[in-house]
């Protein structure tokens, strides 16, 4: 800076400029500021994300959208509707299938947590909540199966209805398992894929079993 010692700025020159506090990175993200957006935008955006994921489950292909943006709203809604449909008995008595309702809830969430822990212990690269998200969303085909079963049971509960229910449940079980392994197995090293797929298979098997053996009182 020695050479600048004799430089002086003429006092007639007005000095002006802009004073702004530089923010982290002035990237094109300025259009995406979600801090001040109206609440309705936030709600709509989250709803759209949930809807997109449902579509992804129905047509499973290896896309990263399901994994990048996890959310647990879908699993919550599916879990509640499945548990509601699986409870037996009338809804207004004291003994109204309360334990079964909480049971289904606990099985689904606890099962999903155990599978996630298992895949993490096997060295998977997927994060805890992503895995919960995928497993929860892939319960969708089984929820559809439950709906179909209840409708079929309204018509009658003979052998024919059992066969129909069996076919539907097996098909949806296969769909669920395939959809979730399409997303989850990729995160594992190749020699461990079977070890990861097996608990998922069990998990959906238990849920399918509950659906198939459901009889309304």
* 181 contact partners, CB below 8 Å, separation of at least 6: 196, 197, 200
Please report, to the nearest 10 degrees, the dihedral formed by the alpha carbons of residues 133, 135, 141, 146 taken in order. -100
Q: Is residue 79 classed exposed, middle or buried when 0-12, 13-18 and 19+ CB atoms within 10 A define those classes?
A: buried
Stretch that binds another protein, among 26-34, 143-151, 157-165, 207-215 (CB under 8 A): 26-34
Instruction: Please report whether residue 190 would count as binding another protein according to CB under 8 A.
Output: no
Instruction: Pick from 6, 11, 59, 158 the residue near another protein by CB under 8 A.
Output: 11
Instruction: Pick from 1, 5, 8, 16 the residue near another protein by CB under 8 A.
Output: 16
Q: Which 114-173 positions form the footprint of another protein (CB under 8 A)?
A: 125-130
In the complex, minimum distance from the CB of residue 91 to another protein, in angstroms, rounded to a whole number: 5
Instruction: Please report whether residue 13 would count as binding another protein according to CB under 8 A.
Output: yes
* 135 contact partners, CB below 8 Å, separation of at least 6: 75, 112, 115, 116, 180, 184, 200, 203
- By rule CB under 8 A, what count of residues binds another protein? 60
Instruction: Please report whether residue 191 would count as binding another protein according to CB under 8 A.
Output: no
Instruction: Please report whether residue 38 would count as binding another protein according to CB under 8 A.
Output: yes
Instruction: Please report whether residue 33 would count as binding another protein according to CB under 8 A.
Output: yes
Instruction: Please report whether residue 102 would count as binding another protein according to CB under 8 A.
Output: yes
Question: For 93-120, b where at least 16 C-beta lie within 10 A, e where not — what string?
Answer: eeeebeebbeebeebbbebbeebbebbe
Instruction: Please report whether residue 6 would count as binding another protein according to CB under 8 A.
Output: no
Q: Is residue 211 classed exposed, middle or buried when 0-12, 13-18 and 19+ CB atoms within 10 A define those classes?
A: buried
Binding site for another protein (CB under 8 A): 11-30, 32-39, 42, 45-46, 49, 67-70, 73, 76, 80, 84, 87, 91-94, 96-99, 101-102, 105-106, 125-130, 187
């Amino acid at each position: 800076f020695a050479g600048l010692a004799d430089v002086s700025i003429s006092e007639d020159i007005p000095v002006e400029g802009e004073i702004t506090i530089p923010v982290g990175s002035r990237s094109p993200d300025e259009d995406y500021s979600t801090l001040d957006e109206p609440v309705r935008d936030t709600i709509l955006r989250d709803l759209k994300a949930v809807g997109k994921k449902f579509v992804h489950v129905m047509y499973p292909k290896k896309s990263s959208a399901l994994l990048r943006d996890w959310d647990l709203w879908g699993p919550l809604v599916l879990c509640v509707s499945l548990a509601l449909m699986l409870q037996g008995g009338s809804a207004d008595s004291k003994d109204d299938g309360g334990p079964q309702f909480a049971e289904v809830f606990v099985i689904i969430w606890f099962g999903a947590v155990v599978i996630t822990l298992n895949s993490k212990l096997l060295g998977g690269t997927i994060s805890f909540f992503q895995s919960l998200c995928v497993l929860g969303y892939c319960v969708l085909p089984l929820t559809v199966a439950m709906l179909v079963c209840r409708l079929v049971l309204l018509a009658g509960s003979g052998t024919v209805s059992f066969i129909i229910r069996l076919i539907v449940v097996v098909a949806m079980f296969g769909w669920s398992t395939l959809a979730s392994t399409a997303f989850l197995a990729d995160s594992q090293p190749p020699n461990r894929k079977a070890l990861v797929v097996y608990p998922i298979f069990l998990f959906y098997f238990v849920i399918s079993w509950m659906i198939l053996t459901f009889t309304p009182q």
